[in-house]
């Protein structure tokens, strides 16, 4: 027990030092946060332009579509902030710094995840949160205990889903090494798929983004449940309550993949 | 210095990128996944609008989605920081000392990169697009010829822009924010997210005042036949004009920046 507490203290000390390091160069940090606000706004541009042309898309009006956008982006930005830097793994492998991590008496994934906390991602999370707050009442969502539980569950569950995708993509780097872009099709591709109504996707694509990479669970399904809509065939709206459950198999797969990757790794003996 | 140096540099750029096979395959997979989602969203919009948005039918919207993903890597919509890193480390002094023009040399290298990426990054999304939604392509050879010219101009305008933006490293310590801001603007204004023709008037006017539509929207429009005949020639003329302007701006930045450059040792 005491050992566990000492472990946590070590993680905490590293995270606090990383946060302090980023806040030291204030202008640089402000520019980074601002650029990430820009990333959030540029993602919103699609919703804006599309709804300038049409009134409903995939069975959703503009405010419900904004909710889908907001939940997906909030979960992705939080996951990116927490573990997005796991895709630095190839650099650690190439430079031999991974061996130093492996020598310390803490799990490798825990160390890598806490080796950085990308506070600049708060910019994109902030845009998502603002859109969420503006869109909730306009989409006709009544404040209630059930609504709060659904929102909390989907943000936490969605963040967990994207964290798992980042870990899985990171684990793949043990095999690919130059494959940062392979990670993109998982993580950024999943985020991109999550922020549009899944009802638009043709059958096989919808199936993949629900049951393989559970992108629909992050935002579209919870919004169906929040706004009392029925989904397309094969996507009943009660699934919107299951976002935290959807994160479980992805995490299991990610951790198995990670373990296999670490076992495969052999140091260069630096 | 013989001009044969430039084709050699282009060939070197081609070979350098052909070394990263796994990364190229992974990139093509990412382009295809994004293409599938974009095709669904854009065709869904056209259907919801009653079959046509700003001259795009369902087939054109789907083709635009796949084609823009296929061209994304060759025209390199997103900024890289290669030159900025060379400015920061001082390696740019070596570039300036070489007996070739630094801008033309980098341009040749970038054309080589684009030529390599065209097939491995472009064919997979187009193939999946042809098999799933179908593609509309120019009916006559003239459309392809003009499309190829427009594509080379798109790559060149993109190169000139990225080269110029990288040169801000002469004045800024950390260019990461500037490059990310560039990528944000490029994502929207090149038409990568949604076709520029679909923009509301104020955003369309903003896009038209920048060189960004010349990078991706222009070649995509010529290839999909959204613009044909005289209108297509006009698009290519606008691209050429932007290319001249942005190349000149880059040269001015380099001249101003190299006056600030102090290199130690030898």
For the segment B120-134, what is each residue's pLDDT rounded down to a tens digit? 999 999 999 999 999
SS3 A56: strand
Q: Best residue in B27, B80, B193, B207 to probe A by mutation, most A CBs within 10 Å?
A: B193
Nearest C-alpha in B relative to A31: B177
Distance CA B25, CA B16 (A): 15
Distance CA A225, CA A241 (A): 7
A48: which 2 tokens? 């804006």
Distance CA B166, CA A162 (A): 32
- Give the model's pLDDT for residue A180: 66
Distance CA B108, CA B113 (A): 9
Are residues A42 and B187, on separate chains, in Cβ contact within 8 Å?
yes
Give how far B41 is from chain A: nearest CA, Å: 6
- Give the model's pLDDT for residue A266: 79
Q: Best residue in A60, A168, A181, A196 to probe B by mutation, most B CBs within 10 Å?
A: A181
Nearest CA-CA partner of A38 in B202, B228, B245, B182: B182
User: Radius of gyration (Cα) for chain A, nearest Å?
Assistant: 20
B106: which 2 tokens? 């980098």
Q: Is B40 on the interface with A (CB under 8 A)?
A: yes
What part of B 122-161 touches A (C-beta under 8 Å)?
132
Query: Smallest Cβ distance to A192: which of B20, B23, B37?
Result: B37
Asked whether the predicted pLDDT for residue A270 surpasses 60, the reply is: no
SS3 B56: strand
Percent helix, strand, coil in chain A, to 5, is 80, 0, 20
How many CB pairs below 8 A link A and B? 119
A21: which 2 tokens? 């390091």
- Give the model's pLDDT for residue B152: 97
Question: Phi and psi dihedrals of A70, rounded to 5?
Answer: -65, -50
User: Radius of gyration (Cα) for chain B, nearest Å?
Assistant: 19
Give how far A42 is from chain B: nearest CA, Å: 6
Are residues B174 and A56, on separate chains, in Cβ contact within 8 Å?
no
Distance CA B24, CA A148 (A): 44
Q: Which residues of B touch A169 (CB under 8 A)?
A: none
Residues 6+ apart with CB under 8 A from B183: B77, B78, B79
Distance CA B27, CA A176 (A): 12
- Give the model's pLDDT for residue B225: 85
Q: Is B34 on the interface with A (CB under 8 A)?
A: yes
Nearest C-alpha in A relative to B121: A181
Alpha helices in B49-194 (DSSP H): 58-75, 82-89, 92-97, 102-132, 141-166, 176-189
Of A47-51, B33-37, B142-146, B184-188, the range with the lowest mean pLDDT is B142-146
- Give the model's pLDDT for residue A111: 84
User: A203: exposed, middle or buried (C-beta count within 10 Å: 0-12, 13-18, 19+)?
Assistant: exposed
SS3 A61: strand
Q: Best residue in A50, A194, A216 to probe B by mutation, most B CBs within 10 Å?
A: A50
Nearest CA-CA partner of B243 in B218, B216, B219, B211: B211
C-alpha angle A131-A134-A138 in degrees, rounded to nearest 5: 125
Higher pLDDT, A22 or B42: B42
Query: Smallest Cβ distance to B181: which of A28, A35, A189?
Result: A35
Distance CA A161, CA A146 (A): 22
Q: Is B48 on the interface with A (CB under 8 A)?
A: yes
A113: which 2 tokens? 């995840």
- Give the model's pLDDT for residue B181: 87
Residues 6+ apart with CB under 8 A from B64: B42, B56, B195, B220, B224, B226
Contact B75, B158 (CB under 8 A): yes
Q: Which residues of B touch A39 (CB under 8 A)?
A: 180, 184
Distance CA B220, CA B224 (A): 6
Q: Is B172 on the interface with A (CB under 8 A)?
A: no
- Give the model's pLDDT for residue B265: 59
- Where residue A125 falls among pLDDT bands split at 50, 70, 90? very high
Contact B214, B239 (CB under 8 A): yes
Asked whether the predicted pLDDT for residue A117 surpasses 90, the reply is: no
ipTM of predicted complex: 0.87
Distance CA A54, CA A60 (A): 11
Nearest CA-CA partner of A158 in A70, A49, A260: A70
Query: Smallest Cβ distance to B23: which of A28, A178, A205?
Result: A178
- Give the model's pLDDT for residue B224: 86
- Give the model's pLDDT for residue A90: 79
Query: Smallest Cβ distance to B184: which of A38, A177, A182?
Result: A38
Nearest C-alpha in A relative to B190: A42
Distance CA B52, CA B61 (A): 9
Extents of the domains making up chain A: 2-20+27-264
Q: Which residues of B touch A180 (CB under 8 A)?
A: 23
Q: Is B98 on the interface with A (CB under 8 A)?
A: no
SS3 B53: strand
Contact A77, A155 (CB under 8 A): no
Give how far B139 is from chain A: nearest CA, Å: 28
The mean pLDDT of B246-263, rounded to a whole number, is 89
Q: Is A205 on the interface with B (CB under 8 A)?
A: yes
Higher pLDDT, B19 or A56: A56
- Give the model's pLDDT for residue A93: 81
| Beta-ladder partners of B168 | none
Residues 6+ apart with CB under 8 A from B124: B28, B29, B31, B32
SS3 A146: helix
Question: Phi and psi dihedrals of B168, rounded to 5?
Answer: -60, -15
Alpha helices in B209-265 (DSSP H): 217-224, 229-260
Residues 6+ apart with CB under 8 A from B161: B182, B186, B211, B212, B215, B246
What part of B 3-22 touches A (C-beta under 8 Å)?
20, 22
Contact A81, A118 (CB under 8 A): yes
A114: which 2 tokens? 């806490």
Contact A107, A254 (CB under 8 A): no
Q: Is B59 on the interface with A (CB under 8 A)?
A: no
- Give the model's pLDDT for residue B26: 82
Nearest CA-CA partner of A257 in A183, A147, A158: A183
């Amino acid at each position: 027990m005491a050992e566990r507490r000492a472990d946590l203290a070590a993680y905490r000390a590293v995270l606090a030092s990383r946060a302090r390091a980023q806040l030291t160069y204030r202008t640089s940090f402000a520019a980074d946060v601002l650029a990430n606000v820009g990333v959030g706004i540029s993602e919103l541009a699609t919703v804006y332009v599309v709804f300038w042309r049409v009134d409903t898309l995939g069975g959703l009006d503009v405010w419900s579509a904004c909710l889908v956008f907001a939940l997906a982006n909030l979960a992705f930005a939080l996951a990116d902030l927490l573990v997005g830097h796991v895709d630095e793994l190839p650099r650690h492998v190439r430079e031999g710094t991974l061996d130093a991590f492996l020598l310390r008496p803490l799990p490798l994934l825990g160390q890598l995840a806490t080796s950085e906390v990308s506070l600049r991602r708060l910019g994109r999370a902030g845009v998502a949160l603002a859109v969420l707050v503006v869109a909730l009442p306009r989409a006709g969502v009544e404040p209630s205990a059930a609504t709060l539980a659904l929102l909390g569950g989907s943000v936490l569950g969605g963040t967990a889903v994207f964290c798992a995708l980042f870990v899985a993509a990171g684990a793949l780097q043990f095999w690919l090494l130059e494959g940062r872009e392979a990670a993109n099709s998982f993580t950024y591709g999943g985020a991109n798929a999550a922020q549009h109504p899944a009802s638009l996707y043709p059958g096989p694509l919808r199936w993949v983004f629900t049951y393989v990479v559970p992108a629909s669970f992050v935002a579209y399904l919870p919004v169906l449940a929040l706004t009392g809509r029925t989904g397309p065939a094969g996507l009943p709206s009660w699934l919107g309550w299951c976002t935290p459950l959807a994160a479980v198999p992805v995490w299991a797969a990610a951790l198995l993949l990670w373990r296999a990757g670490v076992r495969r790794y052999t140091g260069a003996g630096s | 210095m013989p001009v044969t140096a430039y084709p050699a540099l282009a060939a070197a750029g081609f070979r350098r990128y052909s070394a990263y096979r796994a990364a190229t395959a992974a990139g093509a997979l990412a382009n295809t996944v994004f293409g599938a989602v974009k095709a669904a969203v854009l065709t869904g919009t056209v259907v919801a609008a009653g079959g046509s948005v700003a001259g795009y039918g369902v087939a054109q919207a789907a083709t635009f989605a796949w084609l823009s993903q296929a061209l994304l890597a060759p025209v390199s919509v997103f900024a890289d920081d290669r030159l900025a890193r060379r400015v920061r480390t001082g390696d740019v002094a070596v570039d300036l000392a070489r007996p070739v023009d630094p801008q033309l040399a980098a341009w040749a290298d970038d054309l080589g990169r684009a030529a390599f990426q065209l097939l491995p990054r472009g064919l997979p999304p187009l193939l999946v697009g042809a098999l799933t939604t179908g593609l509309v392509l120019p009916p006559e050879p003239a459309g392809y010829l003009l499309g190829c010219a427009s594509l080379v101009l798109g790559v060149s305008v993109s190169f000139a822009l990225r080269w110029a933006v990288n040169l801000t490293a002469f004045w800024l310590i950390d260019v990461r924010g500037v490059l990310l801001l560039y990528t944000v603007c490029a994502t929207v204004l090149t038409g990568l997210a949604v076709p520029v023709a679909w923009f509301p008037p104020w955003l369309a006017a903003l896009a038209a005042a920048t060189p960004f539509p010349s990078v991706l929207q222009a070649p995509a429009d010529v290839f999909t036949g959204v613009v044909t005949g005289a209108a297509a020639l006009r698009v290519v003329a606008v691209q050429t004009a932007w290319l001249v302007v942005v190349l000149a701006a880059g040269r001015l930045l380099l001249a101003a920046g190299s006056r600030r450059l102090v290199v130690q040792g030898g």
